[in-house]
Structure 1
């Protein structure tokens, strides 16, 4: 193990804002936006945050991921979250984001305050992740957006019952909207968001884990949807060409593993037993190539093991501090969901590994 406690990206302190702010922290995009009123947002590691608001007109607090990718080229995006949510008046706990070309603001509402949004007529229901959601489309005229004051559509999935923790397969909602003719374009951002409108309240997001890659599952439409199956408009049905998993979005465990923002947004593996884990759905039984972009912290030879369902299938090697994609080729994986892990096991105290993203082809 080679741990330097003064390392500037070994640990990060939380940041607190009371007025409009945006940036990147611990690999997550964050934003506090309000028009008027009193707000406080504290951004912590791993996409976690807490917020309070009072005497506001409209305020949004959110952390998540920025993209510049067509919605049907993202792979499967899932968010696992947990929150303590205490609204007093009109508020939403939701997955929130924006699309460009067309400009669309979208919501997947998990819980709400005194009023269930958006007050429009449902276009039908869809069952995703074992829950029923109503689908809506609304239009905002000459309102603030990520492209200035514009007129734009809003797409909504709203749960029929509230919850404050669970997993949301975001991509399945995109597909369900497309099946209704509600098409997105290039995704700008996907975030976990708390919004308040002419209300007060507080929330504490204790988990906000993104998984990107693999295929979606558990999606079927309710009886109001006619013959649409919610799967049109998407080209990713598992790992068929390539899937990219951001290491900072994986589940981390071990004595010293941590998220970093330099030399890239990713993770640092410092000691034996440090690991990053993701459950990945493989669409076909075949040989796959795994590429891990990473580097060492010095010129000593560094390595990190790749495990599938607990079995080591190879190692990625790095020498030097310049990031590159190390490969493990011809790994046979059967169709279905498997546990993919990056594990440090050969540390001798003279090197560390920094990992950016994992490509599966």
Structure 2
């Protein structure tokens, strides 16, 4: 007992001074009793709270080895999967969610774990078949959970990525009928289907209804962006088919085929569509975690047309990316130029805040 208390205190001190690994070593040296193992779980939770994710994962793993019959074993597995997801170790996270589902198939949380696994397989591993199997299993689970509607929505996304638009439409119909809280996402996704088929009028009709009904919905900004895009593309034949095709190919992770469409647009499209192409590609590169490629595209957009209606978004993103590289003076000059060139833009307050923050930082560093 006294050994445990000493190790518990010493490990807490080690964590406090920022040496989480040393604290774990002290607890790992204790005997194999359930009481000692439970200290590992408590320590793992504290490490998580202190953002010591790697040590937390190791502590949960050691707890699982030493207390395989613990009622907290499920939590330990789940938290390891969540830590792996946050650390972008997606293959490890998928493996842990899989273990969790196999060991606890009858628990209510298993449906949620299936959903998380499916989302990882779809969004990070681009494994459509495995993702479909996970979402379908989640929907068959006897335990109803709010993730069920989202699983159906992502099954429609899989159909879209496989270019089976009628199947996507059918799944969205089911979503709207069976899960009324998901009616807004279902209708927004249907507007996207119209958009990808260059049926801009059909898309606009749905998007206008959505924005009128609930302008504060989490998807309302996406709906507004898509509506504005439809307006801008309306009279841009024949470039619009290449543009929507390129976007769909990007969504389907068919990057090389998309690149051919973007190249065609760069050479043949009117200026409006060329600017939209650069903007769309830059946003996609940011989402996919390739900031250098995004930066080059935003800079190309600004040099193509400094007066573009998209220039302010480009300036803000270029500045943010420069700040991430710690190129603070470059970012400040860029923000100041943007402020002078578009004094009436709606994002000026945000721009002024960034300028003030950077001036303050550079003054302090200089002083």
Q: Which band: TM-score by shorter chain?
A: under 0.3
**What TM-score comes out, normalization by structure 1 length?**
0.25
Give the greater-gyration-radius structure (CA): 2
**TM-score calculated relative to the size of structure 2:** 0.25
Q: Kindly indicate which of the two structures has a greater share of residues assigned to strand.
A: 1
